[in-house]
Amino acid sequence: MKSTKLMAIALMLCFSFSTFAAKKSSKKESVTFPESVAANIVADYSKHVFNTYSELLKVNKNLEAAVAAFTKNPSVATQDAAKKAWQDARYVYSATEAFRFYGGPIDDAKTGPEGLMNAWPLDEAYIDYVKGNADAGIINNTKLFPKITKEVIVAQNEKDGEKNVSTGYHAIEFLLWGQDMDLKSAGKRSFEDYIPAKSANAERRATYINLVAAILVEHSQQLLTAWDPAVKGNFVESFLKAPPHETIQKMFLGIGTLAMDEMSGERMTVPLEKNDQENEQDCFSDLTHLDFIRNQEGILAVYTGKYEGFNGIGLKAFITAIDPKGEPNIQNTMDKTLSMFKELKPPFDNIIMEKKNGPGRKLSNKIIASLQTQSKLIAKSISKVGMDINIEHK
């Protein structure tokens, strides 16, 4: 989901936390909001976010270095190394999407870099040549863009259209893999596109991809600084000082929206209904299935508080405190969703183009239903303390 859509999301997913005691009835007792549990969860969450963004900065720097090595000495080997570095960076970034959708540093309406990091779908012809148009894109338009700079690339992002994506992971993905013209394989861009004697505007192409990688590093540093406990007056300082019921609700909104609106809606239902492989998220590398897995693992990390060496207290402890009978259903559904994602046979664009009764589509529909269920179960449980995240599926 692009940052330009965030205002619309906010309106659709508006929530209220004015009351945090469940309404009493003649049959049910009210549930007390577990303040101490919530405070511990918030503290561990902030550590988890900081740790993950620290790792994101590291892998994005590795990507920047790999892209530089590739463009300096273009070959199959250096191109493959850059592709591997891109995949490693996506591995970390996809898990961080569980930290989105509540107006935090990643998608702040004014300063959030999400739209400059992860905007999609991408019109390839906006950046570089495509089949049938050798002169397409910013790279080949030397008259309008005589010099390619960071400022030019950022200014052109989503200018005059949401698919006019000029920067971020998917811009690098396209510049490494090229157009995906085959349902059975990823894009097949040649490394020779970066050799001046072999390809027009090869040096401009090299400049472009290096600058986009550098921009990613800068935005990663911005996110890390916002969550750094050693930095005074930043986002995490106010996050930790806010009433626990406010931050807990934001955390639930983040993982609920990622599952319901983004994953089951934008990333699965939309491309399947449109029968259009261009709506696949990682449509050039054919690694969308890994994004799905990492998104769900990111949700589980926030929920359980446990993630690759980090052993904290997650939202599960909160649900257990207010709805001990309902909590196992949430955990089981999340685990089931992850297992089904791992069963999807890539590439996802092949599933998109399947007939409606195809095996990949059948499994995808089960996953969509499971994603919706896990968010609805969360909403039901937290309603016991008056929370309402109003999760809806498009």
CATH number, domain of 333, equals: 1.20.1420.20
Question: What letter would DSSP give residue 132?
Answer: T
Here the tokens at position 139 are 């790279």
Predicted local confidence at residue 184, as pLDDT: 85
- What percent of the chain is helix, strand and coil (3-state, nearest 5)? 60, 0, 35
- Whether 10 is covered by a domain: the verdict is no
- Whether residue 79 contacts residue 186, with contact meaning beta carbons closer than 8 Å, is answered with no
What's the mean pLDDT in 231-256?
97
Here the tokens at position 73 are 């000495």
Q: pLDDT tens across 258-267, in order?
A: 999 999 999 9
DSSP code string of 214-229: HHHHHHHHHHHHHT-T
- Whether 172 is covered by a domain: the verdict is yes
In whole angstroms, what is the distance from residue 372 CA to residue 264 CA? 7
For the chain, what is the mean pLDDT? 92
Predicted local confidence at residue 30, as pLDDT: 73
Predicted local confidence at residue 393, as pLDDT: 36
Q: pLDDT tens across 77-102, in order?
A: 999 999 999 999 999 999 999 999 99
Q: Is the pLDDT of residue 104 over 60?
A: yes
Which residues sit opposite 130 in a β-bridge? 133
- Which residue is listed with tokens 């207010």? 322
- Whether 243 is covered by a domain: the verdict is yes
What's the mean pLDDT in 327-340?
98
Q: What is the dihedral of CA 146, 147, 148, 152, to 10 degrees?
A: -80
Interhelix angle 327-343/288-304, nearest 10 degrees: 160
Confidence of residue 126 (pLDDT cuts 50, 70, 90): very high
Domain of residue 220: give its range.
31-385
Predicted local confidence at residue 20, as pLDDT: 38
What's the mean pLDDT in 173-186?
94
In whole angstroms, what is the distance from residue 96 CA to residue 31 CA? 31
Q: pLDDT tens across 45-64, in order?
A: 999 999 999 999 999 999 99
- Whether 182 is covered by a domain: the verdict is yes
- Whether 368 is covered by a domain: the verdict is yes
- Whether 190 is covered by a domain: the verdict is yes
Confidence of residue 392 (pLDDT cuts 50, 70, 90): low
In whole angstroms, what is the distance from residue 288 CA to residue 271 CA? 12
Q: Is the pLDDT of residue 206 over 60?
A: yes
Confidence of residue 29 (pLDDT cuts 50, 70, 90): low
More confident residue, 3 or 210: 210
What's the mean pLDDT in 218-235?
98
Tally of structural domains, the chain: 1
Confidence of residue 309 (pLDDT cuts 50, 70, 90): confident
What's the mean pLDDT in 309-336?
97
Long-range contact pairs involving 334-339 (C-beta distance under 8 Å, separation at least 24): 334/296, 334/299, 334/300, 334/303, 334/374, 335/300, 336/370, 337/259, 337/296, 337/367, 337/370, 337/371, 337/374, 338/293, 338/296, 338/297, 338/300
Predicted local confidence at residue 75, as pLDDT: 98
- Whether 262 is covered by a domain: the verdict is yes
What's the mean pLDDT in 173-195?
95
- Whether 142 is covered by a domain: the verdict is yes
Confidence of residue 27 (pLDDT cuts 50, 70, 90): very low
In whole angstroms, what is the distance from residue 263 CA to residue 270 CA? 10
Here the tokens at position 262 are 């983004």
Q: Is the pLDDT of residue 288 over 90?
A: yes
Taken in order 115, 387, 294, 47, the sign of the CA dihedral is: positive
CB atoms within 10 A of CB 81: 17
Count CA within 13 A, CB hemisphere, residue 320: 11
